[in-house]
A = this chain, B = another copy of it.
Amino acid sequence: MITRAELESARRRAMTLLERAGIVARQDELERIEVADMGLSELEQSGVQILTLVDTQKIAAKVLVLLPYQTEPEHRHPRLGDYPGKEETIRCWWGELRLYTPGEPTPKPLASPPARRRHTYTVWHEQVMRPGEQVTIPPNEPHWFQGGPEGAVVWSFSTKAIDVTDIFTDPDVRRVTVVADG
């Protein structure tokens, strides 16, 4: 749960970073920026801001904004019936993104998720991504990422996005942001 003020603050900060990154969006798209606190009520630490530009029955193109050191918790995009699950290419466009996927754990990773949630982060192979660098994540592969010191603006190019079916390692995550009254 976040307050209306927290939501508006995150949206404004995201819009500032989108502008620095040279992202070209219409006003109506910007007004629909999703502020996702993942139900953890610690938006500065855990969450992401999402600008959806394309979202058809077949593909999606979204711009993700990570505030400085903000972490999108570990999750995967599972199979759903005939659909093998979302394949996602993450491309860094501005700032720095630390991406973690399965593989050899990096001995001294740059990112540190919130201490009391660390046990819900299970993949530790680090790739530090700068503008122009990208990684394709196959369906159902767990991954998480964190913005660098100035945050990050990254593209997510993917097959069909069905966010509500994403599976988060942390059982406390709720994909829908609840805004507190008042």
> Interface 1/0s, chain A 15-48, versus B by CB < 8 A?
0000000101110010000000000000000000
Q: At the interface, yes or no: A103 with Cβ under 8 Å from chain B?
A: no
Q: Number of A residues whose C-beta is below 8 Å from B?
A: 25
* Selected contact of A25 from candidates B26, B132, B158, CB within 8 Å: B132
Contact at A58–B87, with CB atoms within 8 Å? yes
Q: At the interface, yes or no: A59 with Cβ under 8 Å from chain B?
A: yes
A153 to B21, CA, bound (A): 16
Q: At the interface, yes or no: A136 with Cβ under 8 Å from chain B?
A: yes
Contact at A53–B87, with CB atoms within 8 Å? no
List which A61-88 residues lie within 8 A (CB) of chain B: 61, 87
Contact at A94–B24, with CB atoms within 8 Å? yes
Nearest CB in chain B: distance from A51 CB, A: 11
> Do A131 and B24 form a contact, CB below 8 Å, given A61-B89, A61-B157, A157-B61?
yes
> Do A89 and B22 form a contact, CB below 8 Å, given A59-B59, A61-B157, A157-B61?
no
> Do A56 and B89 form a contact, CB below 8 Å, given A29-B132, A132-B29, A157-B61?
yes
Q: At the interface, yes or no: A93 with Cβ under 8 Å from chain B?
A: yes
* Selected contact of A89 from candidates B29, B59, B155, CB within 8 Å: B59
A56 to B86, CA, bound (A): 13
Nearest CB in chain B: distance from A152 CB, A: 12
Other A-B contacts than A22-B24, A24-B131, 9 sampled, CB-CB below 8 A, are A26-B132, A54-B136, A58-B159, A59-B89, A59-B158, A61-B61, A61-B155, A61-B157, A157-B157
Residues of A at the B interface (CB closer than 8 Å) are: 22, 24-26, 29, 53-54, 56, 58-59, 61, 87, 89, 91, 93-94, 131-134, 136, 155, 157-159
